[in-house]
Amino acid sequence: MSDLCLLLADTASNPADLKMWAYVAFVGLVVLFLALDLGVFHREAHEVSMKEAATWSVIWLSCGIAFAGFVYKAYDAKWLGLGLDTPRYNDHELAGTVPEQPLIVSGEVSGADAAKQYLVGYVVEKSLAMDNIFVIALIFSFFAVPAKYQHRVLFWGIIGALIMRGAMIGIGAGLILRYQWILIVFGGFLVLTALKMALIKGNDDPTQNIAVRLAKRFLPAVDFYDGQRFFTRRTVAPTYSTDPATGKTVQDPAPAGTLSVRRAITPLFLALVLVEVTDLVFAVDSIPAIFAITPDPFIVFTSNIFAILGLRALYFCLAALIAKFRFLKPALILILAFVGVKLLLLSVPPYLDAVGLEARQGIKIDTTLSLVIVLGTLAAATVLSVLLPAKAEKSA
């Protein structure tokens, strides 16, 4: 008991050590949101209407933006040690050029700076999530996933995404704090990814994905849906009838002798596998992008998670409309390239002595300017898409 009291007293005397509880509280909030989503609002599988999707999009967007207010207050008041001993990019004129002035330092971060970093990170991650919607729409179309089951796939896809991104953010933060030259790798990767998106067309056949091929090779599979189940014991496709009491369509019991001992994966599971793989691929792009804004793990984690939480509702809002925004994809490529260049400008100059040039201070683009550029690019793409629709739309 005395040891516990000593531990609590030591933690209270070192507010920065309380940051762990900030992460615990945030994860608890996310778990509560997801539990309400699946256990209360979407207990029964149903087709998500545009009105419902728009309502949830507004709710998630409001929560994401409102959290910036919490960040401002928490960092300003130093709640749970937030804003104390916090990683930030060094503003000193010799930053990164001498050992005494590393590129990333730890110190106090004001509420205003933290809130701006969160908002820029949130907008960048939300923007990059748009491209994810293109691919998810392709997956659902290829597997002919019934509209009423798509929310279930996206929900469990989000759960996997949260776990994967949390792990990747933890690894990424540890790497850049220990090896700051990793920022050059991140920046170069983002620029190359933008070039690849602009010049190379992706493979449109989901069955060629290695994860799908491995799943079908090592697991028994069926080619029909068994309601919203990912696994089934049925060997023949289910039939449906109308319940006279409720008027609802219900699934008939499996005929005798048609249930297998082993469970098989359904096309719904394969769609889920591809959604998870897709998010992993996009996380490799988006997580380095947020580190271009700030090295603070809490800002990186929370902005990333809030952007992902609203992805399902955003999908149902935009899946049918996103093809009409013909300039959105070029805008996302420009944003990705901008973030990559921003990271290179910050990280490359201090290491110029490695190629025989004079080491210089990295060029840090102001956070407010970054927010204006990202929002301006998205706004311009939207306006141009409305003013200059595709030729096929004009003729239609």
Residue 78 contacts residue 298 (beta carbons within 8 Å): no
Domain around 322: 50-201+283-395
- Residue 66: the pLDDT is 96
How far apart, in whole angstroms, are the C-alpha atoms of residue 307 and residue 133?
13
Report the SS3 class of residue 106.
Answer: strand
Q: What radius of gyration, in Å, describes the C-alpha atoms of the chain?
A: 24
- Residue 104: the pLDDT is 94
How far apart, in whole angstroms, are the C-alpha atoms of residue 102 and residue 90?
7
Residue 64 lies in a domain: yes
Residue 133 lies in a domain: yes
Residue 361 contacts residue 349 (beta carbons within 8 Å): yes
Q: Which residues pair with 98 in a beta bridge?
A: 101
Residues of the chain with pLDDT under 50: 1-12, 395-396
Residue 99 contacts residue 264 (beta carbons within 8 Å): no
Q: Which residues pair with 349 in a beta bridge?
A: none
Residue 258 contacts residue 236 (beta carbons within 8 Å): yes
Residue 144 lies in a domain: yes
Residue 209 lies in a domain: no
- Residue 16: the pLDDT is 57
Which tens digits make up the pLDDT trace of 179-217?
999 999 999 999 998 898 888 765 556 666 787 888 888
Residue 255 lies in a domain: no
- Residue 223: the pLDDT is 92
- Residue 286: the pLDDT is 83
DSSP string, 187-215: HHHHHHHHHHHHH-PPP--GGGSHHHHHH
What is the number of domains present in the chain?
A: 1
Q: Which residue has the tokens 């809030």?
A: 306
- Residue 7: the pLDDT is 43
Residue 10 lies in a domain: no
Angle between helices 267-291 and 210-218 (to 10 degrees): 140
Residue 277 lies in a domain: no
How far apart, in whole angstroms, are the C-alpha atoms of residue 182 and residue 163?
23
Question: In the structure encoding, which two tokens stand for residue 380, read together?
Answer: 């311009």
Q: Tell me whether strands 86-89 and 104-107 are parallel, antiparallel or unpaired.
A: antiparallel
Residue 87 lies in a domain: yes
Which tens digits make up the pLDDT trace of 209-225?
787 888 888 999 999 99
How far apart, in whole angstroms, are the C-alpha atoms of residue 259 and residue 232?
9
Report the SS3 class of residue 241.
Answer: strand
Report the SS3 class of residue 271.
Answer: helix
How far apart, in whole angstroms, are the C-alpha atoms of residue 173 and residue 66?
25
Report the SS3 class of residue 144.
Answer: coil
Separation in Å, CA 105 to CA 14, 102, 299: 19, 6, 16
DSSP string, 232-285: EEESS---EEE-TTT--EEEPPPPTT-EEEEEEE-HHHHHHHHHHHHHHHHHHH
- Residue 124: the pLDDT is 93
